Chain A
Amino acid sequence: MTALAALTGHYLRTSFANRFAIVFGAIQPLFYLVIFGPLFSRSGVGSWDTLVPGLLVQLALMSSGLVGFGVVFDQRFGVLERLRVTPAARSTLLLGRVLKDSVVLLIQAAGIIVLGYAFGMRAEPVGVVLGLLLITVLSIGMAALSYAAALTIRMELFAPVMSTLVIPLMLLSGALLPMSLAPAWLDVVSRFTPFRYAVEALRALFAGPPTSPTVLWGVLVTLVFVAVGFTIGTKVYQRENT
């Protein structure tokens, strides 16, 4: 417990020492919000209430999806080995990082929601809070997978591979334009990506009572995603690095 608190605190302090990086991690969804949002809300496709939930999932993919970078540096400079030789469990080493990532994501997401309200989003506060919770959970799975990828693929490939992977996943989730507009084949492909369910659950949560089957599905899929992501992350963290 001491170890986890020390690690999470350490990573948070390090992150907050560079506030610019926290804003920068959310830069893509911020651009979409400010530059694409005004167009979208007048396009007849949907309103701010449709867009903002999508941007939150984009945020989880972009921000948490690229956190693995940090561990690449830790590996290169011997930090990872130094931590691995302490009695702290290797799952704790991962969890400390991931908890920091979820706090950062929560702050970024809150910023986007506040801006969304400023632009004219009308969403249920209760739904928004539950939505933040859902997106935080999603980000834990995403971050764990990001670390697993960073420790598995070659260092110089990590950034290109992840950013290439994240874009189709984001588009397929319907984060920008709802999948209700999609042709049948695209709709089918989209159903195989976990993020679609999160996007739809978030939209449902923002729109009304948190009791619809859409919300339930989103929560279920996200929980499975986190379980899988964290298991893979722990496996990779426990592997020796040669």
Chain B
Amino acid sequence: MIHVRGLTRSFGAVEAVRGVDIDVSKGEIVGFVGPNGAGKTTTLRMLTTLLRPTSGTATVADCDLFTDPAGVRRRIGYVAQGGTVGPFSGVGEELVLQARLYGLSRSEARERVTRLLEELDLAGGEKRTAGQLSGGQKRRVDIAMGLLHRPELLFLDEPTTGLDPQSRTNLWGHVRRLRAESGMTVFLTTHYLEEADALCDRILIIDDGTIVASGTPAELKAAHDAGTLDEVFLAVTGRELREGAAA
């Protein structure tokens, strides 16, 4: 579903991503983990056609990133780290617009939005503006934005940051269900290693623009003789992902 070789991206003198290789098969849930500034968002923005790589090759959802970005866009969903709706915009209005940009008819779009909001515990949320929602509710609206067209491949950039434990667990359930029902592939970033452990089939650890470890949670733990992924992270990078996480 994703095949990436030697992908790099610089911003002036800053080498944000320094040659990453990524392979993700259909139906996998893959976690992309790393500290602030590691290059996670930059990588995702390249794979979703928003940023031009400085070098490298990539096929995303069976389309070449460089020669067929429109094909990539049709097949993927992307939920950005920074949100998707302004505070004064009506949630339903924005979701329906997004669905229609993916080619759904007006009635299909409305139906889909209602369904999706129900599934994300936001039933009836259409009539509100994003500014009237709590942080976690707004985050779920962002996630709905990426699911409207039932993409084959979904990129989630820190989907659970700001969600309470229950909403996080609900979201994991939703992601697992999507994979079970439609075989959707999910590539997500997170700072929560226990989340990656619980949710992901495979994990890539990125630090300073390079992938420093990858494997299933069990493989990673075994390879570093660690009980938790936090310990793996410490062993691989010499740092803790979050203060006190591996303690």
A interface residues (Cβ-Cβ under 8 A, vs B): 2-3, 6-7, 10, 13-14, 73-74, 76-79, 81-89, 240-242
A residues within 8 A CB of B85?
77-79
Cβ contact within 8 Å between A86 and B11: no
Q: When chains A and B are docked, how far (Å) is the Cα of A2 from the Cα of B105?
A: 8
Cβ contact within 8 Å between B98 and A77: no
Cβ contact within 8 Å between A82 and B84: yes
B residues within 8 A CB of A86?
73, 98, 101-102
Smallest CB–CB gap between B57 and chain A, Å?
A: 18
Q: When chains A and B are docked, how far (Å) is the Cα of A242 from the Cα of B9?
A: 11
B interface residues (Cβ-Cβ under 8 A, vs A): 11, 48-52, 70, 73-74, 76, 78, 80, 82-87, 89, 93-94, 97-98, 100-103, 105-106, 145
Given known contacts A6-B97, A13-B93, A87-B74, A78 and B51 CB-to-CB distance under 8 angstroms: no
10 smallest CB-CB distances across A and B, nearest first, come from A6-B100, A86-B101, A77-B86, A82-B84, A10-B97, A88-B101, A78-B83, A87-B74, A78-B82, A85-B78
Cβ contact within 8 Å between A77 and B93: no
B residues within 8 A CB of A89?
70
Cβ contact within 8 Å between A14 and B102: no
Cβ contact within 8 Å between B103 and A87: yes
Cβ contact within 8 Å between A6 and B87: no
Cβ contact within 8 Å between A240 and B50: yes
B residues within 8 A CB of A79?
84-86, 89, 94
Smallest CB–CB gap between B145 and chain A, Å?
A: 6
Q: When chains A and B are docked, how far (Å) is the Cα of A77 from the Cα of B94?
A: 13
Smallest CB–CB gap between A66 and chain B, Å?
A: 18
B residues within 8 A CB of A83?
98, 101
B residues within 8 A CB of A76?
86
Cβ contact within 8 Å between B101 and A6: yes
B residues within 8 A CB of A73?
86
Cβ contact within 8 Å between A10 and B93: yes
Cβ contact within 8 Å between A85 and B49: yes
A residues within 8 A CB of B49?
84-85
Cβ contact within 8 Å between A82 and B80: yes
Residue of B nearest to A84 (CB): B50
A residues within 8 A CB of B86?
73-74, 76-77, 79
Given known contacts A82-B145, A85-B50, A3 and B84 CB-to-CB distance under 8 angstroms: no
Smallest CB–CB gap between B74 and chain A, Å?
A: 5
Q: When chains A and B are docked, how far (Å) is the Cα of A88 from the Cα of B100?
A: 10
Q: When chains A and B are docked, how far (Å) is the Cα of A9 from the Cα of B168?
A: 35
Q: When chains A and B are docked, how far (Å) is the Cα of A82 from the Cα of B103?
A: 15
Given known contacts A84-B50, A85-B48, A85-B73, A77 and B87 CB-to-CB distance under 8 angstroms: yes
Residue of B nearest to A88 (CB): B101
Task: Provide 12 A-B residue pairs closer than 8 Å at the C-beta atoms, listed in order of the A residue.
Answer: A2-B100, A3-B100, A3-B101, A6-B106, A76-B86, A77-B83, A77-B85, A79-B84, A82-B80, A85-B76, A86-B98, A88-B101
Q: When chains A and B are docked, how far (Å) is the Cα of A79 from the Cα of B51?
A: 16
Q: When chains A and B are docked, how far (Å) is the Cα of A78 from the Cα of B73?
A: 17
Q: When chains A and B are docked, how far (Å) is the Cα of A74 from the Cα of B98?
A: 14
Smallest CB–CB gap between A224 and chain B, Å?
A: 30
Which of A78, A241, A242 is B84 in contact with, Cβ under 8 Å? Answer: A78
A residues within 8 A CB of B74?
87
Q: When chains A and B are docked, how far (Å) is the Cα of A226 from the Cα of B150?
A: 39
Which of A13, A87, A242 is B101 in contact with, Cβ under 8 Å? Answer: A87
B residues within 8 A CB of A6?
97, 100-101, 106
Smallest CB–CB gap between A80 and chain B, Å?
A: 10
Interface centre among A88, A89, A241 (most CB of B within 10 A): A88
B residues within 8 A CB of A3?
100-101, 103
A residues within 8 A CB of B84?
77-79, 81-82
B residues within 8 A CB of A85?
48-50, 73, 76, 78
Q: When chains A and B are docked, how far (Å) is the Cα of A205 from the Cα of B218?
A: 78
A residues within 8 A CB of B87?
77
